Amino acid sequence: MGRAWKGPAGPKLRLLPTLLTLDDLRARAVAFDQVSQREPITNHILLGVDEQNLAPTGLAPDDHLLYLYGDSGSGKSSMLRAYAYEVMRLYQPDQAQLFVVDYRRALLGDIPPSYLSAYLTTHESAQEMMAGLAATVRQRLPGPDVTPQQIAERSWWKGKEVFVL
């Protein structure tokens, strides 16, 4: 069929990598930032490579929710591990803490104690800890005297960022 076409050849099909380690992703992000006109991607929690541009993609640290689902063996635990490693890349232990709810203990031993505020392996312990954490985080809500600039800068409160996996 290609022999019949007399026009220019189409662009070569670019494929997503079959294996992408976190180190490879971080190297791609550094290289991307060197040529990009956009906000540096290395300031984000790197998640992978987007399929349209084959460029690194991630979440801004202040994006508040990532919902992850998939079949058994699809890489959910690996994704959460990579997310935790990215938090540790962007923050020091005195800046961020991780609360890990892990009934299967898939991440056991992967997160250094300096970053780990709680490692919860039962429904009861998770429920109790999350209720306490919710009360603590609720105190961080901006009051009526907080300006839009303070909200943008997140300067009306002091404390560690909290990540729940």
Tens-digit pLDDT profile for the chain (165 aa)? 567 888 888 888 888 889 999 999 999 999 999 998 888 999 999 999 998 888 999 999 888 788 889 999 999 999 999 999 999 999 999 999 999 999 999 999 999 999 999 999 999 999 999 999 999 999 989 999 999 999 888 888 888 999 999
- Confidence (pTM): 0.85
Kindly list the distances between the CA atom of residue 38 and the CA atoms of 27, 43, 61, 123, 146, in Å, as whole numbers in the listed order. 17, 11, 16, 42, 30
Beta-strand pair 45-49/56-59 = antiparallel
